[in-house]
Amino acid sequence: MRAFTYERAASPRQAAQAAASTDHARFIAGGTNLLDLMKIEVETPTHLIDVNGLGLDTIEATEEGGLRIGALVRNTDLAADQRVRRDYAVLTRALVAGASGQLRNKATTGGNLLQRTRCPYFYDTNMPCNKRRPGAGCAALDGGASRQLAIIGASEHCIATHPSDMAVALRVLDARVETVDARGGGRSIPLADFHTLPGDTPHIETVLEKGEFITAVTLPRPPGGKHFYHKVRDRASYAFALVSVAAVVQPDGSGRVALGGVAPKPWRDEQAEAALPRGAGAVMAKLLDGARPTPENRFKVTLAERTLAAVLAEAKE
Amino acid sequence: MRFDQPADPNVADQGKVLGRPRTRIDGPLKTTGTAPYAYERHDVAPGQLVGYPVVSAIAKGRITAMDTRAAKKAPGVVAVVTTLDMERLPKAKMNVVYLFGGREIQHYHQAIAVVVAETFEQARAAAALVRTDYDEDRGASYDLAEQRQAHLDDEVEPASRVGDFERAFADAPVKLDATYSTPGQCHAQMEPHASIAEWKDGTLTLWTANQMVEWSRQALGKAFDLPPEKVRLDSPYIGGGFGVKLFLRADAILAAVAARETGRPVKVALPRPMIANNATHRGLTIQRIRIGTDRDGRITAIGHDNTTNTPPGGGGEEATIPTEHFYAGAHRLLVHRPLEMHLPESNAMRAPGDTAGQMALEIAMDEMAERLDMDPVAFRVLNDTQVDPGKPERRFSERHFVECLRRGADEFGWSHRNRRPGDRRDGVWLIGHGMAGAYRGAPAQASGARVALRPDGSVRVDTDMTDIGTGSYTIIAQTAAEMLGVSVDAVEVGLGDSDSPVSAGSGGQWGAASATAGVYAACVALRERIAERLGADAATLELVDGQVRHGGETRPLAGLAGDRDLVAEDKIEFGDFRDKDYVLATFGAHFVEVGVHAYTGEIRVRRQLAVCDAGRILNPITARSQVIGGMTMGVGAALMEELKVDTRRGFFATHDLASYEVPVHADVPEQTVIFLEGEDPYSTPLKAKGVGELGICGVSAAVANAVYNATGVRVRDYPITLDKFLDQLPLPA
């Protein structure tokens, strides 16, 4: 870990200003991912802006009938919120499928969206990684271990996945990300547009601009229907998804589906969802159209379809 | 004391303390965080510095240059010692790769420098500033399957040949010829390798975490050209080893070179992401097994041909070991092919040879039973042997494998198992049942101890034996308590100090049986000292409830020693009758129920049951803990654990605990362990054998067989993950 300076932000705007005016600054909230990466020098910020004291830790009803979730709401608190459990159960299910109790107690809503990939080559600083060092190459694509990695949305420069479970649920819920910037302005970004695909710039992972600070995640009115989060992994707990399916299924068989574990961002296609009444195969034919798996992770194509089939079967019960 | 013939009835048979359930005497220290583990021994030497390892970024080649200037200038840094500062340090025979010194890189994450600073954070930050240039050798192959193909026609002297295997196999009316593979596995012990080293008055002291104190004292002396008496090791608490702490490793060497350089004590731990590639692993195997039987299912031919990886000079994972003695059969052929590869060092991991071997053999037995249309339990019962199948004049001292099978089948409800693969459902879960036999040898090693009766009537035992989480402290205290007629609470046990008598150490499943036998020998000697003191005959002496009785007279042990300790020291040495005339081994049977998700292929173990035959069980609580630990590790090996080889760059890519998955609590189901009542007088005076390695043997195959029973898809390549069978699993209608 390299030496860094540290400050506690006094307000969201001041946090944004500090980040905008300092090179190599990072916000720190729960620190459950950032600190690990700093220890192995995958992340080497020279300045940390602690945003834990800013409030932003409440969940409030919006005028539109949805919820505004403060960026500092801990994963545990978000999962346990009665309104979330009742109206947005897919979110609670995704949250409790992730990490461990200790990590969820610390990890925040905003931080969860910004966590980095768990690609083993991203973590091993001896290995070439375009995400860590643009232009260095990608060990995972170049004959490396790729079983966990992306099958779609990736590029010839990077096949890392986004590891979040929470974000997959937020994606089916049509969540938006609210930010503030150094000038005091801000925006509301659909989660669909929040994470970027790697292309030839895999080191850029979101549309956030320098200094832009997440203040909240908003949910629109509850979608109704039955909620599912089926996360498949080799062990029963405490592992990242091989494939996960977040779904909201309505009584008429229509609904929404997003996948985790297959792409650099939560993977959803509203047009593919139109095929839901025709079954998992029809949805996946569209949703995973253009998938380019490696020999090691080709199974994810089958697995995604079968996991959705399990969800749809359960929805009919 | 020499153990030259089977044990007669003796004082240790009383069963007042030994054989009784006793919670760990060191438990409170561990649960309160006060047991002094190596890295936290701040009190043993003042002025400790912290060393942080720098490791190789390539798998094979030479270092051409190292630049330490930036690191040396970093805050808090006291010294940087690199591998270029010295010739290769001599290594002990048991180490395969060199640990430090010189330019040559033998494997990824080989230690190449240690950065020493006032604090851990300073050392770690500065370590990242060391720049190394390499001349990389890119010609090596790291793909075992590819290497195996290239070497298939190599002439190899069989490890064992009995009768005419080829002919018997060709003639067998029912036969199996199948190939299985097991991946590299990581010990994934909780406590990383850690050492504090200090040089003082020409003596090197190492506070460390090591299973074999004397081996490592010798190895450390060899590395630094010191006579053994100038080297002291202290390793009282060890947070798991499973074989990865059997030998001296880089933490010890780096701490010692750093302490020599700085003139101050230095502590070094191996960071978790370095352990998989820097230290040892269970080697990969590809195993071809051939079994031929007559029409009734009697094995006539059994062949086991194993290929495994090792750096030059090592033996790899000797997976043929169980096939030598486990089942009957007149014609046998074992071939072991360690192929020289430049992956990290393959070496001992819990039940080396037997674990990987039975992962394959016990699937093969299941497949063979299926071909014969036999119950796999009955097939194993039919092929039990009471003698060494290769040397029938040697018989098993005690072998109750059939009883393990029958008792296990009974307790598990085997008769209610799913009989046709893929036939049973519970909601979306396919239910499967599987079983396997378990076999592990019961070696013993010379082991010494010193026992003192103290003025207050309490007892102190000292031996360099180690407790790697196994319960050594407790069974040693129980042994002394039984032998000297005191309560366990009156016994203090000191372990892991090389100043104490040399013990068997913890390895090869010999630790518990050997070390307690050594304590027995020392206690017999102490009883003689007590008898001398009283002018009595040791044979008629009764030591009960803290009192000594002889000739109708009773007096307390307290005060007997006057104001000084009454001390006796001895060691047990094992005669060769154990191996020459008998085969000593431990046996078990594992029964498993799994659920496999009919859509996704997710596998969850639902229940496990083990029956073990391991002589006298010294403490049913600690023994059970050993076995359930083995059963859990076996589930990991079956379903998830894999050191994934990056075959292009020659290293294990899954080198942290996020990517190398071991079972979590949610993976561990109801576990039942049954110990058969029994004694093995051929083993030790206490008639005990080990269980710590038996516990893992056969487990993974029982899980694999249950998965097959659930799905109807046979996977012969561990770990059994869903990607290996999903496309063959029919979707529910």
pLDDT-based confidence at residue B64 (cuts at 50, 70, 90): very high
Instruction: Tell whether the torsion through CA atoms of B717, B187, B321 and B342 is positive or negative.
Output: positive
In this prediction, residue A142 carries a pLDDT of 84
In this prediction, residue B474 carries a pLDDT of 98
Q: Given its phi and psi angles, is residue B211 left (phi above 0), alpha (psi -120 to 50 degrees) or beta?
A: alpha
CA distance B26 to B33: 11
Could you tell me if B102 lies within 8 Å of chain A, comparing CB atoms? no
Instruction: Tell whether the torsion through CA atoms of B376, B381, B383 and B384 is positive or negative.
Output: positive
**Proportion of chain B in helix, strand, coil states, percent, rounded to 5:** 30, 30, 45
CA distance B507 to B496: 14
In this prediction, residue B561 carries a pLDDT of 80
CA distance B282 to B270: 18
pLDDT-based confidence at residue B155 (cuts at 50, 70, 90): very high
Cα A139 to Cα A196, A219, B54, B144, B508, distances in angstroms: 21, 38, 21, 20, 39
CB pairs under 8 A between A and B: 102
Which of B103, B66, B102, B106 lies closest to B87 in space, CA to CA? Answer: B102
Which of B590, B707, B620, B608 lies closest to B667 in space, CA to CA? Answer: B608
Give the torsion through C-alpha atoms of B469, B472, B473, B474, to 10 deg: 100
- Closest partner residue to A299 (CB to CB) among B125, B597, B726 is B726
Q: Do B661 and A309 touch (CB under 8 A)?
A: no
| Closest chain A residue to B666, measured at CA | A236
Three-class SS of residue B193? coil
Q: Are B646 and B142 in contact (CB under 8 A)?
A: yes
Give the mean model confidence (pLDDT) for residues B227-231: 95
Q: Do B600 and A232 touch (CB under 8 A)?
A: yes
Query: What tokens appear for A147 in the block?
Result: 């079983």
The DSSP 8-state label assigned to residue B164 in this structure reads -
**pLDDT tens-digit profile of A115-167?**
999 999 999 999 999 999 999 999 999 888 999 999 999 999 999 999 999 99
The DSSP 8-state label assigned to residue A158 in this structure reads B
In this prediction, residue B366 carries a pLDDT of 98
Enumerate the residues of chain A whose CB falls inside 8 A of the CB of residue B640. 234-235
In this prediction, residue B385 carries a pLDDT of 98
Enumerate the residues of chain B whose CB falls inside 8 A of the CB of residue A314. 428
Q: Are B318 and B306 in contact (CB under 8 A)?
A: yes
Query: What tokens appear for B438 in the block?
Result: 């378990």
Q: Do A139 and B646 touch (CB under 8 A)?
A: yes
CA distance B567 to B452: 4
Q: What is the DSSP string of A225-287?
A: SEEEEEEE-SSSSSS--SEEEEEEE-TTS-EEEEEESSSSS-B--HHHHTTGGG-HHHHHHHH
Share of chain A above pLDDT 70, in %: 100
Q: Are B266 and B50 in contact (CB under 8 A)?
A: yes
- Closest partner residue to A236 (CB to CB) among B128, B664, B723 is B664
Task: Answer yes or no: is the ipTM higher than 0.95.
Answer: yes
CA distance A271 to B491: 74
Which of B347, B284, B354, B262 lies closest to B91 in space, CA to CA? Answer: B347
The DSSP 8-state label assigned to residue A160 in this structure reads P
- Closest partner residue to B604 (CB to CB) among A41, A236, A309 is A236
- Closest partner residue to B653 (CB to CB) among A144, A234, A242 is A144
- Which string of b and e fits B223-243 if b means at least 16 CB within 10 Å? bbebeeebbbbbbbbbbbbbb
Q: Are B686 and B479 in contact (CB under 8 A)?
A: yes
Q: In what order do the strands lie in the sheet with B49-55?
A: B77-82, B111-117, B49-55, B266-269, B194-200, B203-208, B231-234
Partners of B332 in the β-ladder: B162, B302
Partners of B49 in the β-ladder: B266
| Closest chain B residue to A1, measured at CA | B125
What are A's interface residues with B at a Cβ cutoff of 8 A? 1-3, 39-41, 118, 120-121, 123-124, 126-127, 139, 142-145, 147-148, 230, 232-240, 242, 299, 302-303, 306-307, 309-310, 313-314
Q: How many other CB atoms are found less than 10 A from the CB of residue B723?
A: 18
Element (H, E) at B166: helix B165-171
Give the type of residue at A304. Answer: A
CA distance B477 to B17: 9
Q: How far is Cα of residue B729 from the mean position of the Cα atoms in its chain?
A: 36
| Residue B53 pLDDT > 90 | yes
Give the type of residue at B420. Answer: R
Residues of chain A with pLDDT under 50: none
In this prediction, residue A144 carries a pLDDT of 83
CA count, 13 A, side-chain hemisphere, B585: 27
Enumerate the residues of chain A whose CB falls inside 8 A of the CB of residue B600. 230, 232, 303, 306-307, 310
CA distance A32 to A42: 14
Enumerate the residues of chain B whose CB falls inside 8 A of the CB of residue A121. 653
Q: Are B351 and B440 in contact (CB under 8 A)?
A: yes
Q: What is the DSSP string of B634-667?
A: HHHHHHT--B-EETTTTEES--STTTS----GGG
Q: Which residues of B are catalytic?
A: 693
Query: What tokens appear for A62 in the block?
Result: 């919006």
In this prediction, residue B733 carries a pLDDT of 80
Could you tell me if B425 lies within 8 Å of chain A, comparing CB atoms? no
**pLDDT tens-digit profile of B498-542?**
999 999 999 999 999 999 999 999 999 999 999 999 999 998 899
Task: Report H helices in B320-462.
Answer: 321-325, 354-371, 376-382, 401-412
Q: Do B664 and A118 touch (CB under 8 A)?
A: no
CA distance B197 to B258: 8
Q: Cβ neighbours of residue B567 under 8 Å, at least 6 residues apart?
A: B450, B451, B452, B453, B526, B529
Q: Do A127 and B664 touch (CB under 8 A)?
A: no
Which of A176, A192, A188, A191 lies closest to A212 in space, CA to CA? Answer: A188
Instruction: Tell whether the torsion through CA atoms of A41, A46, A50 and A56 is positive or negative.
Output: negative
**pLDDT tens-digit profile of B704-729?**
999 999 999 999 999 999 999 999 99
What are the start-end ranges of the E strands in B32-76? 49-55, 61-67
| Residue B562 pLDDT > 90 | no
Phi (first) and psi of residue B610, to 5 degrees: -125, 140
| Residue B551 pLDDT > 90 | no
Element (H, E) at B711: helix B699-711
CA distance B174 to B170: 10
Enumerate the residues of chain A whose CB falls inside 8 A of the CB of residue B599. 306-307, 309-310, 313
What are the start-end ranges of the E strands in B270-390? 285-293, 299-310, 331-340, 387-388
Interface probe for B, chosen from A306, A312, A314 (most Cβ of B below 10 Å), is A306
Interface probe for B, chosen from A35, A44, A124 (most Cβ of B below 10 Å), is A124
**pLDDT tens-digit profile of B235-290?**
999 999 999 999 999 999 999 999 999 999 999 999 999 999 999 999 999 999 99
Q: Do A232 and B658 touch (CB under 8 A)?
A: no
DSSP collapsed to 3 states, B6-27: CCCCCHHHHCCCCCCCCCCCCH
Q: How many other CB atoms are found less than 10 A from the CB of residue B109?
A: 28
Q: Given its phi and psi angles, is residue B165 left (phi above 0), alpha (psi -120 to 50 degrees) or beta?
A: alpha
CA count, 13 A, side-chain hemisphere, B370: 17
CA-only gyration radius of chain B, Å: 27
Q: Are A121 and B653 in contact (CB under 8 A)?
A: yes
Query: What tokens appear for B669 in the block?
Result: 């189901």
Q: Cβ neighbours of residue A67 under 8 Å, at least 6 residues apart?
A: A59, A60, A61, A83, A84, A88, A218, A219
| Closest chain B residue to A238, measured at CA | B664
Cα B208 to Cα A219, B101, B613, distances in angstroms: 54, 21, 34
Look over chain B and give the mean of its residue pLDDT values, rounded to a whole number.
97
